[in-house]
Amino acid sequence: MEMLNIKINGMPFSVEKNTTILEACHQFGIKIPTLCYLKDINEIGACRMCLCEVKGARSLVAACVYPIDREGTEIFTNTPQIQKYRKTTLELILSNHDKKCLSCPRSNNCELQALCKEYGVDETKFEGEETKYDIDATTLHLVRNNNKCILCRRCSAACKNQYVGVIGANNRGFDTEIGCAFNQTLDAVSCVACGQCTAVCPTGALIERDDTAEVFAAIADETKTVIVHTAPSIRATLGECFDMPIGTNVTGKMVAALRRLGFDKVFDTNFAADLTIMEEGTEFLDRVKNGGTLPMITSCSPGWIKFCEHYYPELIPNLSTCKSPQQMQGAMIKSYYAEKMGIDPKDMVVVAVMPCVAKKFEIKRDDQGHDGIADNDYVISTRELAKMIKTAGIQFTELADEDFDPIMGIGTGAGTIFGTTGGVMEAALRTVADILTGEDLESIDYTEVRGMEDIKEATYNVAGMEVKVAVTSGLSNAAKLLDKVKSGEADYHFIEVMCCPGGCINGGGQPIVDGHTRNFVDVKGLRAAALYDDDKNLPYRKSHKNPEITAIYADYLKEPGSHKAHELLHTSYVKREKY
């Protein structure tokens, strides 16, 4: 490692050779503003907000892509000239920007707005022609408003990073816009609904479709029983919307807030994650013992499922037929719970709180629901739930912890870790190993499948049976893994795929993290750690040990994989065209 002695704003500093100015300044305690840069995803130096001065250079340089490769380099980050250039850049961006900030969903959480405030810009300095775009609200999961776009290209980079690449820059010069090929709307292309574009957009150009008004209306309808259930990862992320540290577990406060919003019952989707393991584990063992299609691939992530249908339809037979935990939970609420409580399912409204905007698409898929009744009626993201809590005036951080309602309120640690990459696999292994050995094994931490590596592989010997598994997250990584399976290069029994990099903790509906935090803080690691800590501290850590799961099979489903279980908890898939 070659170290270089440099100066930043006149002060001596030592950095590794070829460190960028942006990274060096971060190490030095100086934040350089950026609007386009995302580490390892969008390193293009396009927005020009990060311009800095290097002594001897002919012009200002983009700190995000400029490597420090000379001993004695002198860098200046905050001269009057630099401040002037940055302020002018912001004013030029605003000259062709919809400045209706008060009504923008990203107000007070907009990177452009924050920088404009810091630099004291004149929003009317450069007045003239403004481009006007129609809002694209053609999909079930997101809304695109190019009037808010600043052409940072983060969205297109994130989409490409997800292998899909259905959005990019069209036209040239003043007419440049981000869109789909041939100006198609988003519903006409093979978008997989992952929402990663909404998670990285620095403004309000890409947002999730907002269903909060419909949920508020349902709660206000006295003829309806309104039930909410929350995905495993929400407990590790919701607190960020209320300025709590990343990775804070807010399970109890979340439940208390949901009750104060007016929901009649508050259930934990961890219950359905455990139910998924019972069904998926049984399906896996049946395929192994009876010559079924292998490797079996998980089906919990609707973005991944849609990706497979568009881009790898030949592997549809490999997908587990299990519905996702979201859909299983809704199905059980509107069948088992409805019967137990004597409620007509038609008088129920079930709301799922999810980290994933693809879940909004999933509830409208064919072969979901039963007897003409949808499993879930609405899906709201973590961000939408935070909005509802704030709108209702609930002081989230001051709430005392409360517990989920019984019957579907107990979840195990195995269910909790569904929220991070590797969690579904580990949960399945905990149960499958007990079934195959006939023992209650104490060693249940399958650490080989944990972590944020692109592709994780492991082989376990369980009761004399060799089980080869693989885990991946992010669709570009999934494509690499699936290509190995197709070519015969890889020989696995079981594969876990999660659509979003890092899994649900990094889903497209999770709290917005600004570019600087995303670049320099291990957000995924902190959120995942909260789930693993929760797992360790729960009384039950194996899905088949959940007493509510035991009861639902004894009272209603009879056994995993039963005829009734298949009617309610399993589904099918279709080949989709790739556009």
- Token pair recorded at residue 342: 């004597």
Give the mean pLDDT of 379-393. 98
Residue with tokens 């972590």: 451
- Reported as a single tens digit per residue, the pLDDT across 492-537 is 999 999 999 999 999 999 999 999 999 999 999 999 999 999 999 9
Q: What angle, 0 to 180 degrees and rounded to 10, lies between the N-to-C axes of helices 423-437 and 270-290?
A: 60
Nearest to 576 by CA among 376, 368, 366, 427: 366
Residue with tokens 């509510």: 548
**Cα separation of 5 and 9, whole Å?**
13
Nearest to 351 by CA among 228, 433, 448, 457: 228
Given its phi and psi angles, is residue 52 left (phi above 0), alpha (psi -120 to 50 degrees) or beta?
A: beta
Residue 462: predicted pLDDT? 87
Average pLDDT, the chain: 97
- Say which residues have a Cβ less than 8 Å from residue 223's Cβ, sequence separation at least 6: 347
SS3 content of the chain, % helix, strand, coil (to 5): 40, 15, 40
Q: What angle, 0 to 180 degrees and rounded to 10, lies between the N-to-C axes of helices 212-220 and 382-391?
A: 50
3-state secondary structure at position 8: strand
**Cα separation of 259 and 4, whole Å?**
57
pLDDT bucket at 368, cuts 50 / 70 / 90: very high
Give the mean pLDDT of 39-63. 95
User: φ, ψ for residue 285 (rounded to 5)?
Assistant: -60, -35
Residue 127: predicted pLDDT? 87
- Token pair recorded at residue 104: 């923008």
- Reported as a single tens digit per residue, the pLDDT across 391-422 is 999 999 999 999 999 999 999 999 999 999 99
- Reported as a single tens digit per residue, the pLDDT across 532-578 is 999 999 999 999 999 999 999 999 999 999 999 999 999 999 999 98
**Cα separation of 543 and 275, whole Å?**
7
Q: Give me the CATH code for the 97-208 domain, please.
A: 3.30.70.20
- Reported as a single tens digit per residue, the pLDDT across 301-322 is 999 999 999 999 999 999 999 9
The single-letter code of the amino acid at 163 is: Y
Residue 420: predicted pLDDT? 98
**Dihedral angle sign, alpha carbons of residues 55, 58, 62, 67:** negative
Contact yes or no for 352/329 (Cβ under 8 A): yes
Nearest to 508 by CA among 100, 256, 164: 164
**Cα separation of 16 and 533, whole Å?**
35
Share of the chain above pLDDT 70, in %: 100
Residue 48 neighbours by CB distance under 10 Å: 17
**Cα separation of 354 and 507, whole Å?**
9
CATH class of the region 3-78: alpha beta
Residue 463: predicted pLDDT? 86
Give the mean pLDDT of 223-234. 98
- List beta partners, residue 305: none
- Reported as a single tens digit per residue, the pLDDT across 134-183 is 999 999 999 999 999 999 999 999 999 999 999 999 999 989 999 999 99
- Say which residues have a Cβ less than 8 Å from residue 257's Cβ, sequence separation at least 6: 389, 394, 396, 399
**Cα separation of 260 and 262, whole Å?**
5
**Cα separation of 262 and 380, whole Å?**
15
| Domain locations in the chain as residue ranges | 3-78, 97-208, 213-569
- Reported as a single tens digit per residue, the pLDDT across 5-23 is 999 999 999 999 999 999 9
Terminal alpha carbon distance of the chain: 46
Is the predicted pLDDT of residue 289 greater than 90, yes or no? yes
**Topology of 213-569 in CATH?**
Rossmann fold (3.40.50)
User: φ, ψ for residue 14 (rounded to 5)?
Assistant: -125, 130
Contact yes or no for 149/366 (Cβ under 8 A): no
Contact yes or no for 33/51 (Cβ under 8 A): no
Residue 578: predicted pLDDT? 87
Is the predicted pLDDT of residue 58 greater than 90, yes or no? no
pLDDT bucket at 128, cuts 50 / 70 / 90: confident
- Residue 226 DSSP one-character state: E
**Cα separation of 180 and 193, whole Å?**
14
3-state secondary structure at position 241: helix
The single-letter code of the amino acid at 550 is: T
Is the predicted pLDDT of residue 471 greater than 90, yes or no? yes
Q: What is the DSSP string of 339-402?
A: HHHT--GGGEEEEEEES-THHHHHTTSTT-SBTTB-S-SEEEEHHHHHHHHHHTT--GGGPPP-
Given its phi and psi angles, is residue 382 left (phi above 0), alpha (psi -120 to 50 degrees) or beta?
A: alpha
Is the predicted pLDDT of residue 465 greater than 90, yes or no? no
Contact yes or no for 95/123 (Cβ under 8 A): no
Q: Is the peptide bond before 325 cis (omega within 30 degrees of 0)?
A: no
Least confident window among 61-75, 119-133, 211-225, 268-282? 119-133
User: φ, ψ for residue 53 (rounded to 5)?
Assistant: -105, 130
- Token pair recorded at residue 298: 């998980």
- Token pair recorded at residue 7: 């100066």
Q: Is the peptide bond before 105 cis (omega within 30 degrees of 0)?
A: no
